[in-house]
Amino acid sequence: MRSRTILIVDDEPRSREGMKKILGVWAAGQYEILTASNGGAALQILEETPIELMITDIRMPEISGLALVSQMRAKRIQRQPSVIFVSGHAQFEYAQEALRLSVVDYLLKPVGREKLIASVEGALKAGEEKEHLIFMRKTADPQLMAIRDEEAVLSEAVRQAMHYIETHIDEVISLQEVAGHVHLNGSYFSALFKEQCQINFSEYVTRRKLQKAKELLLKTNLPIAEIACRSGYQRVNYFNKLFKEYEGMSPGRYRSMRNGMEAQIQ
């Protein structure tokens, strides 16, 4: 189960509890709000609990907010939360360091309710998008990624063919059908596709369908048979065989292993 926790780090009790109260009402039970009065306590929490977002004061005794984030990055904590800095001092050097540490936002005290909530919502959204990209990169087919990276230099006909495959991924797709769609002779289209993509047409279609299947396996709880159907395979036994041939495991095992990896990342 994905942890949804926000950590507030501030040595000033009034500021710390004030932000906790505001976010507690806003979260309405969807997020757990934890607090720490110093950097040392915060690091311990970060090592023990997956944190989605950390809001920390910059100026604190012993371990400053800047040092806290630097140490957090150095420790390679598996779940690196998004970070918002708060400070009672509008110093340019702080803002510069915040940018270097990839901090999402920099707020000046006293932080108003609306400003705090807007910043938190923005940081959480940015964190989710980053995690999604990281995770999808881990599951993406390297050959499809290589083709996508070179998409700008592909001919219009090949790009149109890829778009057609994308929008008909749940159907049986033939070379002649796609060649007709882009108004090219089948033999010429086949040679053109292989020359530009370094992979033949049928191989590309298979890999793209299996990529779709992997996304459905990870993002949904749909039965394997339904995923096979949505990926354009009517016979689930054939889908299972093909999936195992390309991924080295059954669709069910892939789902359980990857979901386990996702839980570790988070």
6 and 31 in contact (C-beta within 8 Å)?
yes
Q: Please enumerate in sequence order all residues whose Cβ is within 8 A of that of 14, keeping only pairs 6 or more positions apart, or say none.
A: none
24 and 30 in contact (C-beta within 8 Å)?
no
Domains of the chain: 5-133 (3.40.50.2300), 142-265 (1.10.10.60)
8 and 38 in contact (C-beta within 8 Å)?
no
* Distance between CA atoms of residues 261 and 266, nearest Å: 9
Torsion angle, alpha carbons of 250, 257, 141, 219, to 10: 100
Residue pLDDT, tens place only, 226-253: 999 999 999 999 999 999 999 999 999 9
179: pLDDT strictly greater than 80: yes
Instruction: For residue 138, count other CB atoms closer than 10 A to its CB.
Output: 11
What order of strands is seen across the sheet that includes strand 32-36? 32-36, 5-9, 53-57, 82-87, 105-108
* 3-state secondary structure (DSSP) of residue 2: coil
Q: What does pTM read for this prediction?
A: 0.63
> What value does the CA radius of gyration of the chain take, rounded to a whole number of Å?
24
* 3-state secondary structure (DSSP) of residue 8: strand
Residue pLDDT, tens place only, 88-114: 888 778 888 888 888 999 999 999 999
Long-range contacts of 176-180 (CB under 8 A, 24+ apart): none
Residue 266's pLDDT band, with cuts at 50, 70 and 90, is very low
Cis peptide before 110 (omega within 30 of 0): yes
